[in-house]
Structure 1
């Protein structure tokens, strides 16, 4: 089974954003050496807890600092942008790093509601045009002229980066199937209904120029440590961070486990933490391996993308090392 990495470039408590990018670079180099399959960076706007607002810029930096691992976006939020411009950016990337680039697409706002207005010159994006945007983008990537205006995405080349649809619902799964592209379900965002969405993707998949067979994977939060006790301790900071996001509270940095251990939770908050654990896998290497394999079987996939956010950063590196050892990655 393949293991991959999703990195949201988290800004840990007391850290500058520049340090978050330094850690992203170090982590990419680390997992490249460990044998992980792909490394995706996310797009988030107007937040002080996640540094990655422009994955299309961060991506070539990471490609230049790694050797074998595929690098990509998880993802570019297409409704905010011109399909033609996105195609040209990724034609450049494919030309620089042929065979190593993934183009993951999403349609979420990428932040609070006003982000939509800021990114779209005071207007709300027309998300109903999203399927047509993707078709236009794919056409440009293949060197075609979808608008019939004698306009092409340059530089041209023999290969094109594969398009992935990102989603957390059956709607996105059906769209990926209809377009004949690969599909990634964000279990770390929505812990319910993912297996049904993936089944829907497989059931309705239509072969396309990009691929003749369906290809999907699932993304989930993972915290792996040498012992179950330590893993639970480290995961407590992620419990608190997610709870704060749900409550619309302070999002200026991911807390430490020490801070989480001092937190007093209400009965309702404890229940929310318990519910949110459905979006995580936490434990020692053998426990995590067993749960990841079980998750992959339930989704009928041969690849799982891991999102690990723990504080301090050294424990994050250790978590990925333990995963690589448990799965005997090459």
Structure 2
């Protein structure tokens, strides 16, 4: 099973907005050395939690700093842009850096009546422009989804499909099955990846503390506070409201945490259940050293 990275370019107590992009680029270099298959950068706007407003730029900068790892967008918010513009930008990066450039697109909560048609247009454009690269989908086009409604569109177009487990940790098996069925019905090979929020550490206690900080950030965001990822010290001192405690029980299920052995076992089980040949890991910690340690431990466990 392939192991990859999804970076949301987090703003944290340790890494303010002006340093977040640099931290993400350091992560790309580290991920390549650790043997990760690819790293993608997400797109967010008007956020106090994430600084990645331009994943195409992060992709370009990371490509300049690496030589082998696949780099791409995870993903471009396609409702905001014409498909032709996305094709031109990502095509230019491919002209310079070759076949290790990925184009991942999504729509988040944005409405776009032409979304499926845009995916088809991109698949057609990239399919003509780029040759086949095993085990990647034609044109290296991927569609990101969480609710399942976009999975058939990805299959029909011949794109790869990345299911956001960390958005909706239940029901993903139905979405990935629908993707594969649509791909098969239209004569396309399927390429299924599962995006999972993960944190691991050498001790269960450290992993639990890091996961709790992630839960606190997510819960507060749900309840209207969009702020940086808190440190474990801040989380340890924090007085949770009753509403936050209730919300935390639901949000904790979206994070896979623990020692490397435990996380490995859970990820391989999830991948098998979803028919995924690749796990894309998303880790949010305040201290960049904790994030790098988590990615290192996971990579070492998958290699062992």
Indicate yes or no: 2:121 matched with 1:141. Answer: no
Indicate yes or no: 2:204 matched with 1:228. Answer: yes
Deviation of residue 158 (structure 1)? 5.7
TM-score (ref. length: structure 2) = 0.93
Q: What is the CA–CA distance in structure 1 between the aligned matches of 2:16 and 2:200, rounded to whole Å? A: 25
Counterpart among 156, 160, 163 of residue 185 in structure 1:
163
Determine the structure 2 residue equivalent to 1:213. Answer: 189
Change (3 A) 1:271 1:65: same
- Matched residue of 1:171: which SS? coil
* 1:94-133 alignment, distance < 5 Å: 94-109=94-109, 127-133=112-118
Q: What is the CA–CA distance in structure 2 between the aligned matches of 1:199 and 1:15, rounded to whole Å? A: 39
Indicate yes or no: 2:262 matched with 1:287. Answer: yes
Determine the structure 1 residue equivalent to 2:42. Answer: 42
* 1:296-307 alignment, distance < 5 Å: 296-307=271-282
Which stretch of the first structure deviates more once superposed, 175-184 or 159-168?
159-168
Aligned length: 299
Contact kept? 1:187, 1:194, Cα under 8 Å: yes
Q: What is the CA–CA distance in structure 2 between the aligned matches of 1:235 and 1:300, rounded to whole Å? A: 26
Q: What is the CA–CA distance in structure 2 between the aligned matches of 1:260 and 1:280, rounded to whole Å? A: 16
- Matched residue of 2:197: which SS? strand
Q: Deviations over 1:165-196 (max 9, x none)?
A: 10002211111122221100001111121111
Contact kept? 1:13, 1:252, Cα under 8 Å: no
Contact kept? 1:4, 1:303, Cα under 8 Å: yes
Show structure 1 runs of 5+ residues with no match. 110-115, 117-124, 144-155
Determine the structure 1 residue equivalent to 2:135. Answer: none
Contact kept? 1:186, 1:220, Cα under 8 Å: yes
- Matched residue of 1:253: which SS? coil
Determine the structure 2 residue equivalent to 1:321. Answer: 296
- Matched residue of 1:98: which SS? helix
Q: What is the CA–CA distance in structure 1 between the aligned matches of 2:115 and 2:56, rounded to whole Å? A: 19
Contact kept? 1:95, 1:157, Cα under 8 Å: no
Determine the structure 2 residue equivalent to 1:276. Answer: 251
Counterpart among 220, 223, 229 of residue 254 in structure 1:
229
TM-score (ref. length: structure 1) = 0.86
**Larger Cα-atom Rg:** 1
Q: Deviations over 1:50-84 (max 9, x none)?
A: 01000011101001111211001110111111111
